[in-house]
Amino acid sequence: MAKRANGEGYIYKKRKHYEARITKGYNSNGNQLFKYFSGKTKTEVVAKLDKYKAEKSNGTYIEDKKITVGQWLDEFYSTHIVNRVTLSTQVNDESIIKHHLKPFIGRIKLFDLKGRSVQQMYNQMLIDGRVDRKGGLNPKTVRNIHITLHKALEQAVKDDLIIKNPLKSVTLPRMKKKEIQILTPEEQKKLNHACLEHPWGIVVLLTLYSGMRKGEVLGLTWNNIDFDNKRLYVTQQLTRIKDYRKDATAKTMLGIIDDTKTKTSKRIIYIAPVIMEELKKHKEKQNKERLKWNDAYKDLNMVFCREDGQYIDPGTFRDFYLRTLKKAQIAPKTFHALRHTFATRALEINSNIKTVSEILGHASIQITLDTYSHVSKDLQEDTMQKMVENFYL
């Protein structure tokens, strides 16, 4: 093997032809990755090697001009997403790639993908981007799709599959601030009473007085409850995940993932004694129910479950929640309205904004401030009035 100058590569004869080898980078373990060229003559191999180095030097080298966007997205997912990110991110990226990106731009050659094509895709998604094609996606969903595509194309640049990321020329849809739903104090009291009449009512009460997300509260196990110290540990969530079993009868199944929405979502929440007492009563009822089912009971150690111990399907729970609202003579509201109600009430009684943010599991105080700006405006007015009343001469 004839070694050339440092960085110039190696050229050697192999049986009836010549080959060249040059380092093209390093893998995650620090091992060298090589690029190979072959030809009938040494001159032919040298020409290929020099062309490669020149293109690498001026930033025009492309590893594979035949690979399509769809093929690359599949490779990117299996190589850089599976088992390398949280399960929730993995499930989200897989869904975006399968249901949104590949149907729109999957057949385009990756090398030929331009910002214009992506812009057209985003614009079309706002019109009829839903999987059932019965309406458009909201701007936030399109932005989430953009994040996944951007990650894949940035890796494509690193792997010499494209020269630059075409998304730099794309304009994302403007985010419309969504009006949050909140229960009035009177509605909150009505819901309190309505919840005590159903075994699942404690789910609503706990959410209303802890601000937890639906997946978090339905994903609680009894190991997450500390009755002695009146603490609740948010460490996981119930969600729909892909069913990888060979004998699976459906594409997805309900399951617990040891993951929350953000890093700060894993948290410890103090629960008021009156709510803890309701949880104790709920546990006693659950134990009695378990005895009725005997061996047919599926003991998953869930705080909230069906009568047979199985996970509560979020869709089934949603129906119960809406019926409960109707029974309490409250207009339909999303389950997330309970979380917003908790935060609003907490700020209305002048709770420290940092404390509220930590209870909610927000990534930053700014998110809390932006989400509940309607409360901060009222508090500002109250603060200014008190300043005058207490200190103005």
pLDDT of 222 over the 70 cut = yes
- pLDDT digit string, tens, across residues 171-216: 999 987 778 899 999 999 999 999 987 889 999 999 999 999 999 9
Indicate the average pLDDT of the chain.
88
Spatial CB neighbours of 321, under 8 Å, sequence gap ≥ 6: 204, 335
* CA-to-CA separations, 215 to 145, 256, 299, in angstroms, rounded: 22, 9, 19
In sequence order, the β-bridge partners of residue 18 are: 13, 39
Rounded to an integer, what distance in angstroms lies between the CA atom of residue 391 and that of residue 393?
A: 6
Q: Rounded mean pLDDT of 354-363?
A: 93
* Higher pLDDT pick, 253 / 214: 214
Q: Rounded mean pLDDT of 242-268?
A: 74
Q: Which run of H or E residues covers position 118?
A: helix 115-128
- Residue 168's CB is within 10 A of a number of other CB atoms, namely 9
Largest separation between any pair of C-alpha atoms in the chain = 101
The angle subtended at Cα 315 by Cα 311 and Cα 320, nearest 5°, is 90
- pLDDT digit string, tens, across residues 291-307: 999 889 999 999 999 99
Highest mean pLDDT, choosing among 18-27, 41-50, 161-170, 326-335: 326-335
